[in-house]
Amino acid sequence: MPDKIAELEAKLVTVTDLNERIDLLNALAWALQDENLTRALSLSAEAIALAQPDKMLPPCYSKGLAQGVFYLGYFEQEAGHYETALTYLSEALPLYEQLGDLAGQAAVVSRVGETYAYLGNYSDSLAYQLQALKLSTAIQDPMKEANALNLIGLVYYFTADYEQSLHYVQQAWHIYEALGDKRGQGKALNNMGMMYCYLGNYDEALGCCFKSLQLCEETKDRDGLANVFDSIGTIYQDLTNYSQALHYFRRGLELFQQMDKPAAVLECLRNMGDSYYRLQDLPRALEYLERAVAMAEQLVVRRELYMGYELLAKVYNQMRDFETALIYYEKFHNLKESVLNEEATEKLKKLEILHRTETTNKEAEIYRLKNVALEKEITERKRVEDALRQSELELQQTNHELAKLNVDKDRFLSLMAHDLRSPFMPLLGLTKLLLETPAVANLPEVEHMARSIYESSKRIYNLLEDLLQWARLHMGRMTYEARRVDLAQVATKTVQLLYHNAHNKHITLQNHLAAPLWVQGEPHMLNVILRNLISNAIKFTPMGGQIELWVTLLATEPPFVQISVRDTGMGISPENVAKLFKIEIHHSTLGTAQEQGTGLGLIMCREMIDLHGGQIWVESEVGHGTTIKFTVPLDSSMEAAAMITPIQVADMSVTTSDTPAMSYPLLPIEWLSLLLNLALAGDMVAIQAKAAEIVELDGSFQLVTEQLQHLASQFDEEAILDLLKQQMDRVQNS
C-alpha cells in the first residue's frame, strides 16, 4: 500500500486535467484511510470542492462529486462521527441515482445501514442492508453481496441474536472464499469468531480469529489486524484470562490510535478498563474507563456510554466511593432504558419477513434488469425450477403419507403396550401368591398349571415392556437431550437395582467404574442401556458366575469413553452375533435358568447409543463368556484426563457379594397394581393422593411414597414407571 500511495502522490503533483485530478484525490483518500484518516478526510473535501465549486450550480464532474461525497461520509463514519457521516451519505445517494450507478448506490446504502447500527437504530439499519443486498444481487456483484451479508450479520450481533448473525456472516465468508478475497475472508472470520465467542464456543472462536489474524498479516490489512486483536482480547476476557486479554487490547489500541479511529479506540479503552477492574487494579481501571466515557460522550455513542457508566459504577463501588457509584448507576439505568427499547426485536422480525419475501421476488427483479439474451436464460431456469418444485411437492406428499403411516404404527404399538400391560399386574401377583399357597403344593397338576400361567404371563409382560420402550423411542417421547452425566453413578444405581437378580443366581456382579466419570448423554437412556446389558449378562451367566463392568478412556478426537460388560456365561456363536442388532431377524435365546427374552433389548440399546454418536459391538466365544462394549462422548471436564491417560480407569469395585442393594421397601402387590394403572393413565394427582394414603396406613413406606410424590409433582411418568417396574421385578423374583 505505501508504494500505491507514493505512486498516487507523484501523479497528483503533475496532473493538469481537472477530472483526472479529482479522481486522483479520491483514489489517494481511499488508499490513506488506514494510514492517515485525517488526511483522507481532507483530500475528499478537496475533491468535492473541485467537482462542484458552487453548490448553486451543477457539478463540473458528477462522478467525481458522487465519489468524493460518499468517501467523506465513509471516513466520517470511520472517525466515529455518525451523524455527520449520515449527512454526507444521504447527499451521495441521489448523486449515484442520477448517474444510474447501481454499484455506487449499493455501496452508499450499505454504509448508511452500518452507520444506523452504530447509532443503535437497528430497524433502519436492517432495512438499508436488505436494500443493499437486493441491489448487489441485481447487478451480480458478489463482492458487494458478501459485504451486505456481513453487515446484516453485524445488525443481528448488535441485537444479541448471535445465531442469526453467524448465519449471515458464514454466507459472506463462503462468497469471499469463492472470490479468493483474503481481506474479505479475514474480516468475516473475525466476525464469526466473535459470534462463536458470544455463543460460548471459545475453541471455535479462537480458531476463527487466529485464522483471521494470519490472513490480515498476509494482506497487510492494518484495520483488520486491529479489529482481530480486539476480538481475541474479548475472547480471552470471557475466558477470564485478563492478562492475555490486556495484551491483545493494547496491540489493537495502538493500531487504532495510529489510524485515527476514535470509535474503535473508545471500545478498546472500555475493554481494557473492564479487564483491569476484573484484575482488581482499580486505579488503572478508573483511568481507562474515564477516558472511554469522555470519548463516548464526545462522539455520542450511546451504547458505549451506558456500558462505560455501568463499569465506572462498579469500580467506584469497589473503591467504597458509594456516592459516585450511585451517580453512575443512575446514569447507566436511565440511558440503557432509552437505548434498549422493546420494539427493536419486533421490527427485526418484520424486516426479516420482508427480506425473505424480497428474496423470492429476486428472479423477477433480475429479469427486469437483464437484456434479452439473459431473459431467455432466466425463463429456462424458471422452467427447470418449476419442474423441480413440482417434483419436490410430490416428494413432500409422499413423505407426508409415510410419516402418517409411521405415526399410526407408533400410536398402535403404544396403545397396545399400554392397554395390554395393565391386566398383567394383578395376574402376575395373584399367580405368584397362588404358587406360594401351601395347599397348591399338594396338588401337582394345579401347581403345574399355575406355574405355566405365571411363566407365560411374565414372558408376555416383559415383551410388552420392551415393546413400550421401543415405541416411546420411535414416537419421540424418549427424546435425546445431551447433558453432563456421571456415568459411574448411573452404573452404581443400576448394579444396586439388579442386585437381587444376580444374588438369586449367586452371581458376583462387580462395578469397576470410578466416580466421577462425566460423559455427555441422556441419563434415562444410559440407565436403560446399562440395565438391558447387565440383565442380559445375568440371564446368560450360570449359577456362581461373574459379571464385571469396565471403563476405558479412548484417545480419540473428540474423546470417547468405552464401557464393557463382561460375563462368564455360555457365549454366543459368530452367526448369532451377526443377528443380535437386526430388527428384521427375530433372535432370542433361553438363559441359563431357562429365562426367556424378547429380542428387542439390544436393538433399543443400539438405537439409543446411535443417538449419543457412539457404537456398540459384541465380542464372544462359545463356552468362554461374552463382552458387550459401547462408547459415548466424554464430557469436556474429563478431556484433559483422556489425553493424559488413555488407559483403563483404576479399579473401584462394587461387588454384590459384599455390598447390599440400596432399594425402597417392597409395596404390596395390590398397591403396586393400582399405582401402575394410575401411572399408565397419566393421573399424577391421583398418584400423589394414593402415596399419601399409603404412608398414613404404614409409615415404613415413607421413602418410596415420598419419591413417588416428588416424581408425580414433576410429571415424570417415565421415572414413576421405572420405580414401579423395579418393585414389580422384585415381587416376581422374590
pLDDT of 364 reads 40
pLDDT of 666 reads 78
pLDDT of 390 reads 84
User: pLDDT digits over 40-76, tens only?
Assistant: 999 999 999 988 877 767 778 889 999 999 999 999 9
User: pLDDT digits over 154-188, tens only?
Assistant: 888 877 888 988 999 999 999 999 999 999 999 99
Residues 239 and 38: their CA atoms lie apart, in Å, by 37
Most confident of 275-284, 384-393, 617-626: 275-284
Mean of pLDDT values over 497-501: 73
User: pLDDT digits over 354-409, tens only?
Assistant: 455 455 445 444 444 554 555 566 677 777 777 888 888 888 888 877 777 776 66
Count the neighbouring beta carbons within 10 Å of the beta carbon of residue 526: 22
CA dihedral (475, 478, 481, 484) in degrees, to 10, reads -160
Residues 255 and 264: their CA atoms lie apart, in Å, by 10
Most confident of 210-214, 442-446, 648-652: 210-214
232, containing H or E segment: helix 222-238
- Whether 35 and 259 have beta carbons less than 8 Å apart is answered as yes
Mean of pLDDT values over 432-446: 74
Residues 31 and 23: their CA atoms lie apart, in Å, by 12
The DSSP code for 549 is E
Dihedral sign, Cα of residue 627, residue 630, residue 635, residue 638: positive
Mean of pLDDT values over 603-618: 89
Residues 494 and 525: their CA atoms lie apart, in Å, by 12
Nearest to 594 by CA among 505, 522, 514, 524: 505
Place of cell 473475525: 190
Residues 22 and 7: their CA atoms lie apart, in Å, by 16
pLDDT of 241 reads 94
pLDDT bin (cut points 50, 70, 90) of residue 353 is very low
pLDDT of 89 reads 92
- Whether 62 and 23 have beta carbons less than 8 Å apart is answered as no
pLDDT bin (cut points 50, 70, 90) of residue 585 is low
Mean of pLDDT values over 267-282: 93
Q: Is 543 helix (H, G, I), strand (E, B) or coil?
A: coil
Nearest to 491 by CA among 569, 563, 567, 559: 563
Task: Give the residue with greater pLDDT, 9 vs 338.
Answer: 9
Task: Give the residue with greater pLDDT, 703 vs 226.
Answer: 226
* Residue 331 pLDDT greater than 90, yes or no: no
Q: Which three cell numbers stand for residue 38?
A: 485525517
Task: Give the residue with greater pLDDT, 515 vs 81.
Answer: 81
pLDDT of 640 reads 44
Using a 10 angstrom Cβ sphere, with 0-12 exposed, 13-18 middle and 19 or more buried, the burial of residue 660 is exposed
pLDDT of 438 reads 74
* Residue 593 pLDDT greater than 80, yes or no: no
pLDDT of 237 reads 92
Nearest to 125 by CA among 133, 70, 223: 133
User: pLDDT digits over 89-125, tens only?
Assistant: 999 999 999 999 998 998 999 899 888 887 878 778 8
Task: Give the residue with greater pLDDT, 446 vs 257.
Answer: 257
Q: Which three cell numbers stand for residue 608?
A: 439409543
Task: Give the residue with greater pLDDT, 378 vs 584.
Answer: 378
- Give 343-387 as a DSSP string: HHHHHHHHHHHHHHHHHHTHHHHHHHHS-HHHHHHHHHHHHHHHH
Nearest to 198 by CA among 166, 167, 152, 225: 166
Task: Give the residue with greater pLDDT, 722 vs 704.
Answer: 704
Average pLDDT, the chain: 80
Mean of pLDDT values over 131-157: 86
The DSSP code for 625 is -
Mean of pLDDT values over 308-337: 87
Q: Which three cell numbers stand for residue 466?
A: 420392551
* Residue 587 pLDDT greater than 60, yes or no: no
| Amino acid code (one letter) for 88 | Y
The pair phi, psi for residue 683, each rounded to 5°, is -90, 85
Task: Give the residue with greater pLDDT, 311 vs 60.
Answer: 311
Mean of pLDDT values over 577-593: 62
Task: Give the residue with greater pLDDT, 142 vs 435.
Answer: 142
- Give 42-97 as a DSSP string: HHHHHHHHHH-S-TTS--S-HHHHHHHHHHHHHHHHHTT-HHHHHHHHHHHHHHHH
* Residue 530 pLDDT greater than 50, yes or no: yes
CA angle 580, 585, 589 (to 5 degrees): 55
pLDDT of 565 reads 94
Count the neighbouring beta carbons within 10 Å of the beta carbon of residue 68: 30
* Residue 675 pLDDT greater than 90, yes or no: no
- Give 187-222 as a DSSP string: HHHHHHHHHHHHTT-HHHHHHHHHHHHHHHHHTT-H
pLDDT of 202 reads 93
* Residue 418 pLDDT greater than 80, yes or no: no
Query: What is the three-state SS of 305-328?
Result: HHHHHHHHHHHHHHCCCHHHHHHH
Task: Give the residue with greater pLDDT, 273 vs 388.
Answer: 273
pLDDT bin (cut points 50, 70, 90) of residue 425 is low
Overall pTM > 0.75: no
- Give 439-484 as a DSSP string: HHHT-HHHHHHHHHHHHHHHHHHHHHHHHHHHHHHHHTSS----EE
